[in-house]
Amino acid sequence: MDLFTGVGVALVTLLDDAGGVDTPATSSLAADLVSRGMQAVLACGTTGEPATLTDAERVEVIKGVRAAVPPGVPVLAGTGATSVDRAAELTAAAVAAGADAILAWPPPGSDDLPGYYGELAQMAGDRPLLAYHIPWISSPGVPVSSLAGLPVAGLKDSSGSPDRLLDEVAHYSGRTYVGSSALLALAGPLGGTGAILAVANVEPELSCAAFAGDAAAQRQLADVHLAVREGGVPALKRILAERRG
C-alpha cells in the first residue's frame, strides 16, 4: 500500500471502565474518523500512549484498527524506541499485526540514524517507513540535512517549527507530514504531503479544511490545539469524552 496525501489521525487508545484497553471502542473511533475525512490512521503513536501498553495490547490495537477501517486506508504503527533492538522488535510485530506503514522516532542521542533506520527498514519489508522528528521525546531528533541519506519514504515532523517546515518542503524530496495542528494552513499551501494529528480525534473536518488552506478553520482549531498542547493526551481524552460521551 502506498502512503497517503492529506490528513490522518494520530489515534488515541481508549480504555474501558476497568482501565484496560478497549480495542472495539478504539477501532470504532478510527472507523468514524475515516468516515469523516481521515486519509490514514496512526495506531500506537505517541498520542496512543504506547508506553502504557503491553506488546500484546499493541498488537491487538493495530489488528483491531486495521480490521475496522476500509482496505484502501493505510494504518500506520508507531514503533519508536530507546534502542534499535526494541524498535526492530516492535516493527516486526506491527508488520505481523497488519500495519501498512511504520513510523519511528530514533533513540535519544542516536549518532547512527542510517544504521537505525536501515535496521527498521529490513523489519518493515515492503511497508513504507517514516522517520519521526519529535525532539522532546527523542532529542535531538532527525535533522533535515540527514533525511536524504536515510532509507525512509518521508517523515512526520511534530516540532511545530515553521522554519523547519519550510526547510523540509523546500529541500527534502520525500513525503513531509506535519504533526502540529498550529501549522496546517501553512503546511498544505506550501506543498506538504499531509498531516498526522492528535486534534483530528475531535476535529477531523476542521483539520482537513485548515490543511487545504482555510485560515478560518485554522483559527477555529486554536482552542483545541492549545488545550492539547498544554494538557497532552489526558486533555485530548477529556475533550473527546465531552463531545462523544
User: HSE of 193 in the Cβ direction (CA atoms, 13 Å)?
Assistant: 22
Q: Are 117 and 136 in contact (CB under 8 A)?
A: no
The alpha carbon of 235 is separated from its chain's Cα centroid by a whole number of angstroms, namely 18
Among candidate residues 132, 172, 177, 237, the one labeled active-site is: 132
Q: Which of 63, 117, 156, 177 is catalytic?
A: 156
Size of the chain, expressed as the number of residues it contains: 245
φ and ψ of 114, to 5 deg? -60, -40
The answer for residues whose C-beta is within 8 angstroms of residue 113's C-beta and 6 or more apart is 106, 131, 142, 146, 149, 150
CB atoms within 10 A of CB 71: 8
Residue 132 is a catalytic residue: yes
63 is catalytic: no
CB-CB contact of 82 with 108 (8 Å): yes
Q: Which residues are catalytic?
A: 132, 156
